[in-house]
Amino acid sequence: MNEKTRIFLKEIIRHNQSFDLTSFKNEAELWEQGVKPVIEFYKAVKKELFAKKIADIGAGSGIFGITLLLLDPILDITFIERNKRKAAFIEYILKRLELKARVLDRDVGQVKETFDIGLLRSFTGELDKLRHILKPAGVVFLLMKTSSKFEKYIEIKKVIGEYKIGLFHVEQ
For the chain, the structural domain boundaries read 3-170
Q: DSSP state, 104?
A: E
pLDDT band of 64, cuts 50, 70, 90: very high
Q: Give 106-113's long-range contacts (Cβ < 8 A, gap of 24+).
A: 106/80, 106/82, 107/82, 108/57, 108/58, 108/80, 108/82, 108/133, 111/55, 111/80, 113/53, 113/78
Torsion of CA 39, 41, 46, 48, to 10 degrees: -160
Report if pTM > 0.85: yes
Instruction: Give yes or no for residue 172 having a pLDDT over 80.
Output: no
- CATH number of the domain located at residue range(s) 3-170 in this protein: 3.40.50.150
If one compares 72 and 156, the residue with the highest pLDDT of the two is 72
pLDDT band of 70, cuts 50, 70, 90: very high
Q: If you average pLDDT over residues 3-25, what whole number do you get?
A: 90
- pLDDT recorded at residue 93: 97
Instruction: Give yes or no for residue 7 having a pLDDT over 80.
Output: yes
Q: Percent of the chain scored above 90 by pLDDT?
A: 61
